[in-house]
Structure 1
Amino acid sequence: MTRKTRYAVPFFVAASAVVCGAAWAAEANPADIQQADKFLAKLPPSCASSSKAVGADGAVTITIKCDGNGKKMNGVVSIKDGVVTKIE
C-alpha cells in the first residue's frame, strides 16, 4: 500500500497540470493576462475564435482568428511584462 501512495502524488500533480493547462504554470504577469482579456473582449464577433495562451517564458500570446463577410484575418500578438513584444 505504501508503494502505491508514493506514486499517487506525482500522478495527481501531473494530471492537474494537464487539466488546468500546463501553459498557465509559467506564471504570467497578471496585468498581461488582464490586458490580453481586454484586447480579446474588444474584438468584433467575427473574431470569436481568437484565444490567448501563456508561453514557457511567461509571455501572453494572443492568437487572432477572424472570419466574416467573406474576409479572413489571422495574427499573433505577444505581451511580456506590459510590453507588446511581437506582432504578426
Structure 2
Amino acid sequence: MKRNIGSGAGFLMMATLAAAWAPAHAADANPADVAQADKFLAQLPASCGASSKTVADDGTVNIRIKCDGNGKKMDGFVAIKDGIVTKIE
C-alpha cells in the first residue's frame, strides 16, 4: 500500500516555519514596547479579551483593541515605536 504524504508534509513544514518565524520576528521590536503592549493588554477588561498585539516589519508594536460587552462594541488600534505612541485610531 502506497501513501501520498507530500501535501501533508508540505503543510507541516509551512506551519513549522511560520511558528519559528513569529518569535524571531518579534525580536525586531523594542523589548520595552512589547512589555508596554503586554501590560496594556493585561489591564483591559474581560470584554476586551479578543484584543491582540503584532509586530510590524519595522519593529512597530501594533495593538488591536476589540471589545464587545454590555451591548457596546469597540474596535481600536494603537501603534508604539521606540517608546512613542505613533498612531491611535
* Corresponding pairs, count: 76
Q: Which residue is 2:20 aligned to?
A: 20
Structure 2 unaligned blocks of 5 or more: 1-12
After TM superposition, what 4+ stretches of structure 1 lie above 4 angstroms from structure 2? 14-17
Q: How does 1:1-88 map to 2 (within 5 A)?
A: 16-22=16-22, 24-25=24-25, 27-88=28-89
Cα distance between partner residues in 2 of 1:86 and 1:24: 24
| TM superposition shift of 1:22 | 3.5
Q: Deviations over 1:22-79 (max 9, x none)?
A: 4751510000000000000110000001000000000000000000011000100000
TM-score (norm 2): 0.76
Structure 1 unaligned blocks of 5 or more: 1-11
C-alpha RMSD of matched pairs (Å):
2.0
